[in-house]
Amino acid sequence: MKLTKILSMTAVVALGTVALHAADAPKLSADEMKKATQIYFDRCAGCHGMLRKGALGPWIRPESHKDKKGATHGTLALGFETLKSIIFNGTPGGMPGWGKSGELTKEETELMAKYVMNTPPQPPEKTMADLKKSWKVLIPVDKRPTKPETTRNWKNYFSVILRDIGKIAIVDGDKKEIVSVVPSGFATHIVRNSKDGRYVYVIGRDGKASMIDLWMKEPKNVAEIRVCNDARSIDTSKYEGYEGKYAVVGCYWPPSIVTLDGKTLEPLKQVATASYTYDEGVFTREARVASIVASHFKPEWIINIKETGQVWLYNYTDVKNPTIKMIEAERFLHDGGWDSSKRYFLVAANARNIVSVVDAKEGKLVANIPSQGTKPHPGRGANVNSSKFGPVWLTGHIGSNDIVAIGTDPEGHKDNAWKVVKKIKLPGEGGGNLFIKTHPKSKYIFADRPVNPDRKLQTQIYVIDKDTLEVAKTLPIPEKYLKSADPKVKMRGPVHFEFNADGTEVWTSIWGNKKTPSAILVYDANTLKLKKAIEDPRLITPTGKFNVTNTMGDIY
C-alpha cells in the first residue's frame, strides 16, 4: 500500500529529509525516509506514538529524556548496533522481534534503526472539510433491506479482521464458512456492532471507518469515511432512545474524537483531545484516544485518553454541543472492558501497571489498582463468578507471565472489591499475552501469548479453570497449522479468542503473514477438542474475531 494512501506524507517526508535530522544521526534519502515512515506507521506507532514520545513502548526520539522512574532514553545514545539488535530480536518486555519473525528483512531492520535516530517528521492534521471529502454513502438507507435477506443465522456471524490486507471476513459461525470478504481500512484494530447487531462498524489504523450491513444476502459496506490518519477505536450510541443514532471514532492522529451519523457515517463533530497530563500538568499534543465503550446507564461514551491519563464521559444528547466530564485516572490508558454488571469499566494504564476503575452510573473514578504484573493488556478482559471470591474480572500482561483476577462486587463481596484477589502464573518465563476471553457457558478462560520470544510458549493456548483459577492445560498448536510458504517467516501462533453465540465453541486465529493463508481453529469450549480448522485462501493474517451476539451484548 502506498504511503500517500496511508498518511499523505509528501510534505512530511520533505520535512524529515531537509530540516529535522539530528546532527549526528545517520542520513536518509527521501526514498529511505518514505519507506521507513511507512514501516514505522505499520508496526511501531501504536506503542511508541506518532511523535515517538512513548506510551506502552518507551521514548525513541534521538534526544535524551528521563522517564518517571529516572531511566534515560534516547536513540542516539543507544546507538545503531543496539537499536538494530532490539528491532531484530525483540525484548522480554513485549517488544516483538520483527526481524527474528521474518516480518522485517535485515535491510529493513537496519533502516529502522537509522530512522529512529532521526527526529520524527510532523504528521499532517485533518479538517472537517477533509473528512467530508472522503465521506461516501455507498448504499443509501432507503435502498437497504428492511429485514434480513439471508436465511443464515446472522447473529452467529463472526467479523474476522484480515489485518495486513485491509479486509474483513464475515464468517458463518454455524457452517464455518466465509460469507463475504469486505474491504476495510489498513490493519483494522477492532470492530463493534450496533446494539441490534445488524451493522458492523470497522476502524482501520489508517483512520478509515466503514460499516457493513449483515442483513444483506452478501454483507458489504454501505458507508465509509476517512476520519483521521491513525485510529484505534469505534463504537455506537447504545442508550435507550439513541440506539444506533450515532457512531464515534477515537483518533490517535490527529488526537481527537469524531462523532458520525450512525446510519450514514456523515461527520458531525470533531473534538480535539490535546490537553494537560493529569499528574504533572504538562501539555501534550499527542493525547490519543485509546479505547471507547458505550455506557448502558446514560447517553454517554466512556473515552480513554492515553497520554493525559483522563477518562472522558462524553454526553452525546446534543451532538453539536457535547458535554464532557473529565475524570483523572492514570496515564497511558489503553484497553479494557466492563465488569459482569456492566456498571464498572476497568481499563489498563499499562505503562504504569495500573488498572483504573470507572463507575458509569455515578460518573466517578472508583480505584486505581496496581495490577501486580508488567504492562497489563486485557483486551476486553474476562468476567468470572468465582465460588471463592465472587465476581472477578481478569487481565493478562504483555511484560510478565501474570494473569490477575480483580474483585468487582463492592456490595456482595466488599472485602474483595477493587483489588487483586488471585494471581495466576503462566508457565515459562516472560510475558507476551495480548488477550484473554471467557463465556458464561464455558468452564474455562483462554489466554494467548503471541509476542513471547520463546517459540514454544508463543504457539500454545493457555487454558485456565474458572473454579480453581489455575492453569488447567496448555494446548500446543498442531505444527501443520504453523507452516509458512516462506520458511524465513514464522507463524506467530494463536492470537485472540472469541466464542460462538451459545458459548459452546471458542475460536482462535493463527497469526500469519501476507504470503501464506492461515487457519482459524475452532475448539469445543468445554472438552477442549479441536473441532474444525477453517482454512480458506482468503484468510490472510486473520487476527481479531468478533461474534455478533457476544459483541452486541458485551459478553466476555
pLDDT digits (tens, 9 = 90+) for 293-307: 999 999 999 999 999
Check residue 77 and give its pLDDT.
Answer: 86
**Does 411 map to a domain?**
no
Which of 9, 33, 44, 216 is catalytic? The answer is: 44
- Residue 48 appears among annotated catalytic residues: yes
- Residue 377 appears among annotated catalytic residues: yes
Residue type, 387: S
Which of 9, 50, 95, 491 is catalytic? The answer is: 95
Query: Burial, 335: exposed, middle or buried (Cβ in 10 Å; 0-12, 13-18, 19+)?
Result: buried
**Does 315 map to a domain?**
no
**Does 346 map to a domain?**
no
**268 touches 325 (CB < 8 A):** no
Residue 109 is part of a domain; what is its CATH number? 1.10.760.10
Give the Å distances, CA to CA, from 6 to 40, 54, 362.
12, 21, 40
CA 247 – CA 258 distance, rounded (Å): 8
Which of 189, 334, 397, 496 is catalytic? The answer is: 334
Check residue 363 and give its pLDDT.
Answer: 98
Which of 48, 189, 397, 439 is catalytic? The answer is: 48
Q: Give every strand in the sheet of 520-524, ordered side by side.
A: 493-499, 505-511, 520-524, 530-534
**Does 34 map to a domain?**
yes
Check residue 23 and give its pLDDT.
Answer: 63
Check residue 22 and give its pLDDT.
Answer: 54
**Does 505 map to a domain?**
no
**58 touches 217 (CB < 8 A):** no
Which of 33, 211, 377, 491 is catalytic? The answer is: 377
Check residue 44 and give its pLDDT.
Answer: 87
Which of 47, 50, 112, 117 is catalytic? The answer is: 47
Question: What is the number of domains present in the chain?
Answer: 1
- Residue 334 appears among annotated catalytic residues: yes
Check residue 24 and give its pLDDT.
Answer: 75
- Residue 251 appears among annotated catalytic residues: no
pLDDT digits (tens, 9 = 90+) for 166-213: 999 999 999 999 999 999 998 898 999 999 999 999 999 999 999 999
- Residue 189 appears among annotated catalytic residues: no
What is the secondary structure of 211-234 as a DSSP string?
A: EEETTSSS-EEEEEEE--SEEEEE
Closest CA to 307 of 348, 274, 356: 274
**Does 75 map to a domain?**
yes
Check residue 54 and give its pLDDT.
Answer: 80
- Residue 95 appears among annotated catalytic residues: yes
Cα 240 from chain centre: 27
* Positions in the chain short of pLDDT 50: 1-21
CA 542 – CA 60 distance, rounded (Å): 29
Check residue 488 and give its pLDDT.
Answer: 75
CA 239 – CA 295 distance, rounded (Å): 7
- Domain region containing 30: 3-115
CA 350 – CA 131 distance, rounded (Å): 32
**Does 110 map to a domain?**
yes
What is the secondary structure of 444-485 as a DSSP string?
A: EEEE--TT-SSHHHHTEEEEEETTTTEEEEEEEPPGGGG--S
**Does 27 map to a domain?**
yes
CA 89 – CA 359 distance, rounded (Å): 41
Q: What is the pTM of this model?
A: 0.86
